[in-house]
Amino acid sequence: MTMSRKRTVFGVVAIILSLVFSAPTLAANCSTAPDLLEEIQKRGKIRIGWINSKPFQFRNERGELEGAFVNAGNMLALELLKVEVEWVEAKWDTFMAGLQSGKYDVVISNVARRPNRAISAWFTKPVVIGSQTFLVRKDKQIKKLADLDKPGNTVVVRLGSAAHITYTENDKEFFKNATIRSLAPPAIPEQEVVSGRAIAMGAGSVETQQIARANPDWAEVVVLPESPRSVGAGFVMMQCQHNLLHYMNTFVDTLIETRFMAKQAEIYPDIVLDAVVAPTQLIGDLPR
């Protein structure tokens, strides 16, 4: 056997051994994790993180928490788990840190399932699936991607939002000439558009449609053929929570079976089922 061939064989053996010995280590990390579903049942309370995003979860004029996913979380706690529920407010740019520090057990909000987020947390299957859109001024006559993607143009997104991740990480080449600017609270992205400081606001279809309906004098929504489709929004929990993930996925199946989102659209008109494709059947179901 030549020296170069020996080196190749030894290299392959080293890789195999590293995988063999690292596998139990990875398994051990999860094996030492507490069973959070069991803890929730013992304490008699589930702590649910929520992120302001009307109509899924928001405070109304009376300061009360409501929304489609608030109704879902209350049903999960009170009717299914039969425990109390504590809602803990979070932010788009810090909710993962809050989850990992134990501020809440799960996050029930319209959180986009993104690969970079999945590195540090587990997601359920999608509850809703939408698309990325753009809020623009009517007088700008935005009709195609080339109208947006020009040197000197700025497209604003909310820091930590699905649009932020889409255009700065997952699809960096979507805009080749325009500048993407991420805004953190208390900055309001739509104000940048109405003022003319930004050509557009990138966001999910529900958010942009909602803003456009509230501002019909200047705002409209553009859905481009090239616009990235969402990978879906799911509920979030810490890694290594196998029992909790299984339970939450079964809960999502329950929402699908009962056409939960279609019923919520009757309560919250901002949920446009043509824009937000809410799953309405399970694999194996007959077409409705």
Residue 77 falls inside a structural domain: yes
The angle that helices 242-257 and 36-43 make with each other, rounded to 10 degrees, is: 80
Question: Do 73 and 189 share a domain, yes or no?
Answer: no
Question: Do 48 and 125 share a domain, yes or no?
Answer: yes
Question: Do 125 and 136 share a domain, yes or no?
Answer: no
d(CA 146, CA 287): 39
Question: Do 122 and 237 share a domain, yes or no?
Answer: yes
Per-residue pLDDT tens listing for the chain (288 residues): 555 554 544 454 444 444 444 444 444 478 788 999 999 999 999 999 999 988 999 999 999 999 999 999 999 999 999 999 999 999 988 999 999 999 999 999 989 888 888 999 999 998 887 778 899 999 999 999 999 999 999 999 999 888 888 898 888 899 999 999 999 988 999 999 999 999 999 998 878 888 998 999 999 999 888 877 666 889 999 999 999 999 999 999 999 888 898 899 899 988 877 555 555 555 555 555
Selection from 80, 156, 126 nearest residue 280 by Cα: 126
Question: Do 196 and 72 share a domain, yes or no?
Answer: no
Residue 286 falls inside a structural domain: no
Question: Do 208 and 149 share a domain, yes or no?
Answer: yes
CB under 8 Å to 250, separation ≥6 — which residues?
none
Question: Do 202 and 238 share a domain, yes or no?
Answer: no
Instruction: Specify the number of domains making up the chain.
Output: 2
**Domain boundaries, position 189:** 132-222
What angle (nearest 5°) sits at the alpha carbon of residue 123, between those of residues 120 and 125? 160
Question: Do 174 and 47 share a domain, yes or no?
Answer: no
Whether the pTM exceeds 0.75: the reply is no
Last residue of a domain, one of 222, 247, 277: 222
d(CA 274, CA 167): 24
Question: Do 114 and 138 share a domain, yes or no?
Answer: no
Helix (H, G, I), strand (E, B) or coil at 110: strand
Residue 177 falls inside a structural domain: yes
CATH code for the domain in which residue 61 is found: 3.40.190.10
Question: Do 68 and 203 share a domain, yes or no?
Answer: no
Residue 1 falls inside a structural domain: no
